[in-house]
Amino acid sequence: MKGKPKKDLLQGTLDLLILRILSSGALHGYGIARRIEVISEDVLKVQQGSLYPALHRLEDRALIRSKWEVQDGKRPMKVYTLSAAGRRALQDETETWESYANAINTILRKA
């Protein structure tokens, strides 16, 4: 898929992707966005205007936590981690996503 323009994320998938990325460990906002881009081989892009509202929404739902950290004398960065409730939500939302994706794939193959 190299050379193709990056696609914006489908509505409703960003929260799931953030939870999945944070399941591997704590990251700051830019790190989350970059991991999504790298893992998707630059097919998916995350705009700051979508990322930070999603992070706030997940934090308000107690699915992630944040804290300010200073590393090597650099400016403070807000670092996000997955909560226990977030791990449960990740499992539930992954199952739902897989069910939808299977249904869509079936329609695409059979219609």
Give tens-digit pLDDT for 9-65: 665 799 999 999 999 999 999 999 999 999 999 999 999 999 999 999 999 999 999
Whole-angstrom distance, CA of residue 45 vs CA of residue 95: 23
Confidence class for position 74, pLDDT limits 50, 70, 90: confident
The DSSP call for residue 24 is T
63, 82 in Cβ contact below 8 A? yes
Query: Residue 1: its pLDDT value, please?
Result: 43
Q: Does domain 7-110 have CATH number 1.10.10.10?
A: yes
Q: Let me know how long the chain is.
A: 111
Residue 6 has pLDDT above 60, yes or no: no
Confidence class for position 88, pLDDT limits 50, 70, 90: very high
Residues ≥6 apart with Cβ < 8 Å to 83: 62, 63, 64, 65
Q: Indicate the pTM of the whole model.
A: 0.87
